[in-house]
Structure 1
């Protein structure tokens, strides 16, 4: 099955000024981008609407998080209906920084995913293992358990609006990157899990993207792997090389 290549840029808590945001926007608006690739960028919530208004229309915007309640006394949170109303089509959920720094469990991530889908959002659902878990050969078990929480409360049809981002925690922002074989093997294991836990059709159709120090130097080789359907890019999404990563399959 042909799956559309997907490249997301997670700006995290960057940029630090409107001026920096304009530089990034100008770069993306003027770049020659592969039209066959779905491109999504995720700025801090403060910049979601302004960025959406000035980016070229084929580049979509994603929130970096949302809550699982539609409204209420939840200071500091953003609800899925609010994102939908603002015209934001995607939200990143379950990023390792949310899991480790803010103590979000897989069950909470699953609740957020269900709420986001119910409001009509698409979800970039992040999973991944620590270095200790990788070295003790628990990668498949950890990724499967993180996904199982979502499988338990979602319907088969929900998965059509989910992109799974495999992000080994040990490779995020460290400069380390999984080899193309490590990425492919893990993506294949995730697809095998979906086959058994959800359905073969969902497994074949779901895009599984790689995140973990993706850059201009490693993106082409990674993009050639049959089960790597794109990237979720961190630091490099703030630099000109993000254009090269978007165009990796054309290189």
Structure 2
């Protein structure tokens, strides 16, 4: 393998202080058992100082959203200095729930990504199509439009500083699962776009209802460099199983 396989836990809006500490501690126990797999945690903003109390270099953590300004009158937002002050090393940007529920535009997401990277925070930039877009055969054009938002950044930052997560919206929490062919096609297209932008090794993660039952198939696809995990990251046994199964699949 030329680069690690990333398992990024997205805790969304879950857990109180004691629960967050306990789950993070459980992750630390098995992280780095295999050098091929890296574990990151995207935690609620209020949990960043909590994780700082128990942090381990084995499991970097970060935010689920971040503003592009250093400070200012932006009620409800957090800045890169705030994330870094709490020991955070990265942030998600453009998650489908931010795009759909909070109507975040490509222009805003581009500003978030550029601002964070410029200020030294790593970014996991999320892209993906809705069910209507897939059924209308617009998947590739949607990915192209979303990728264009950050295309100028792709060639300027090293792998691990900027990552892409492909999350088909129609396969998140719906019970509908993307086939390996559908995943492979989208990832190949994103890798091609990354190569055209000057970074053929840009990590592209998959984020559509990843579970212990499907991680082995996903992990062995050529253009999949990791997984952005929602529900299966909320339980230590489930996430440990993801870790072990992906490591086993990669080492075959």
Would you call these one fold, judging by a TM-score over 0.5?
Answer: yes
8 Å CA contact 1:84, 1:119 repeated in 2: no
Select between 120-129 and 40-49 the one with higher mean Cα deviation: 40-49
In structure 2, how many angstroms separate the alpha carbons of the residues matched to 1:147 and 1:127? Answer: 7
Q: Which residue of 2 aligns with 1:206?
A: 202
Q: Could you tell me how far 1:159 is from its partner in structure 2? A: 5.5
Q: Which residue of 1 aligns with 2:145?
A: 145
Question: Closer, same or farther in 2 for the Cα pair 1:250/1:53, shift >3 Å?
Answer: farther
Quick check: 1:187 aligned with 2:187? yes
Q: Which residue of 1 aligns with 2:128?
A: 128
Q: Could you tell me how far 1:249 is from its partner in structure 2? A: 2.9
8 Å CA contact 1:34, 1:250 repeated in 2: no
8 Å CA contact 2:48, 2:83 repeated in 1: no
SS in 1 for 2:213: coil
Q: Which residue of 2 aligns with 1:24?
A: 23
Q: Please give the residue correspondences for 1:105-124 in structure 2 after superposition, counting only pairs within 5 Å.
A: 105-124=105-124
Quick check: 1:233 aligned with 2:232? no
Q: Mind listing any 5+ residue stretches in structure 2 that lack a counterpart?
A: none
Select between 176-185 and 128-137 the one with higher mean Cα deviation: 176-185
The CA RMSD measured in Å over matched residues stands at 1.6
Q: Could you tell me how far 1:221 is from its partner in structure 2? A: 0.6
Q: Could you tell me how far 1:22 is from its partner in structure 2? A: 3.4
Question: Closer, same or farther in 2 for the Cα pair 1:53/1:37, shift >3 Å?
Answer: farther
The count of aligned residue pairs is: 245
8 Å CA contact 1:177, 1:214 repeated in 2: no
Q: TM-score, normalised by structure 2?
A: 0.92
Q: Mind listing any 5+ residue stretches in structure 1 that lack a counterpart?
A: none
